[in-house]
Chains A and B, each alone.
Chain A
Amino acid sequence: QSALTQPPSASGSPGQSVTISCTGTSSDVGGYNYVSWYQQHPGKAPKLMIYEVTKRPSGVPDRFSGSKSGNTASLTVSGLQAEDEADYYCSSYGGSDNLVFGGGTKLTVL
């Protein structure tokens, strides 16, 4: 059982926006601004897309944005493109010298 809860799937048409949620507790997501999001294409290593809730690493398109409200963090992908189809994972500082992950969300571009 994953520490953070994500929907197993999400989908959208090209050009649309889609939001993926990541729900934890006040001990992890809600307690710290250390939520990250990773993109993983099949057979590839994950890639950091968002860190510290809202920050984008250099090279990540600004179509990707992050937010948090209470114990739930969200990743929004705007202007969906075919190459955005991938698995997305959230992570958070777990509060006990640990990092916790969500179970992952498969994003399908219709």
Chain B
Amino acid sequence: QVQLVESGGGLVKPGGSLRLSCAASGFTFSDYYMTWIRQAPGKGLEWISYITTSGTTAYYADSVKGRFTFSRDNAKNSLYLQMDSLRAEDTAMYYCARGGRTTVTYWGQGTLVTVSS
């Protein structure tokens, strides 16, 4: 069965950095685009990035462009989201998900990022 397990969330000060990871299993990881989606407390879903199968290209929402970097390691079935210059408005649950720009089919349980001084 498809499993996506995020890790790396926590409390960070404004301007700081954090690196999220997502471990995938139960499917041929290198065959799929992958995505990060976040949800601020009590708010709706926001797509932030997706990455192609090879990892050579990632696309970003304007809200994170230039601050976040999405990468993947197909040998380790893993995704990474490097988040720099964090702001209070980046506080959210971060989900990794299987899929790209048309739909996402499976979601992880999420990891919480809190940006606060």
A99 within 8 A of B: yes
Q: How many residues of A contact B (CB 8 A)?
A: 25
Q: How far is the CA of A34 from the CA of B44 in the complex (A)?
A: 19
Cβ A51 vs Cβ B105 within 8 A: yes
Check A101–B106 contact: CB distance below 8 A.
no
Q: How far is the CB of A104 from chain B (nearest CB, A)?
A: 4
Interface of B (DSSP majority class) = strand
Asked if B104 and A48 make an inter-chain contact with CB atoms under 8 angstroms apart, the answer reads yes
Query: Are A48 and B47 within 8 A (Cβ)?
Result: no
Contact of A45 (CB < 8 Å), options: B50, B101, B107? B107
A98 touches B101 (CB 8 A): yes
> Which residues from A are CB-within-8-Å of B110?
45
- Count residues of B near A (Cβ-Cβ below 8 Å): 20
Shortest distance in angstroms between B57's beta carbon and chain A's nearest beta carbon?
A: 9
B-side contacts of A2, CB under 8 Å: 44
User: A64 on the interface (CB 8 Å rule)?
Assistant: no
Contact A52:B103 (CB < 8 A) given known A45-B95, A99-B50: yes
Asked if A74 CB lies within 8 Å of chain B CBs, one says no
B108 proximal to A (CB < 8 A): yes
Query: Counting CB contacts under 8 A, is A46 at the interface?
Result: yes
Closest 3 CB pairs of A and B: A34-B102, A36-B103, A99-B47
Using CB atoms and an 8 Å cutoff, list the residues of chain B in contact with chain A. Answer: 35, 44-47, 50, 59, 61, 95, 100-110
